[in-house]
Amino acid sequence: MTTVYRNLALFIKAGILRRTSIAEDSGAWYEHIWAQNHHDHLVCSRCGKRIEFSYQAIEILQEAVAKEYGFTLESHYLELIGLCPDCRNNDGTQGEA
């Protein structure tokens, strides 16, 4: 967690993130300034189902990687491939995967 928080401070300084005062008591809440409606995808390799998700830590870490290589990120496209819950359950009848 400490690394993430150190990165948070960096990105706030760089103007990528902005700390909001909404959830001050339940921990700080951070907002992506440049990608308000951004999301990434989980994709099922069996049925092709796509699930949208957004996970702040992933976004922040991708920024950290880009920065480390001297890149300024314009966009990214992240897909996590695997089995959806339905396909995993169907697998159960056919033994161990």
Residues near Zn ion, by CB under 5 A: 40, 44, 46-47, 49, 78, 84, 87
CA distance 56 to 59: 5
Minimal distance, residue 26 CB to Zn ion, in Å: 24
Quick one: 44 or 64, whose CB is closer to Zn ion?
44
Quick one: 28 or 57, whose CB is closer to Zn ion?
57
Tell me how far CA of residue 22 lies from CA of 5, 25, 72, 75, 87, in angstroms. Answer: 18, 9, 29, 27, 39
Quick one: 21 or 95, whose CB is closer to Zn ion?
95
Contact by Cβ (8 Å): 31, 20 = yes
Minimal distance, residue 96 CB to Zn ion, in Å: 18
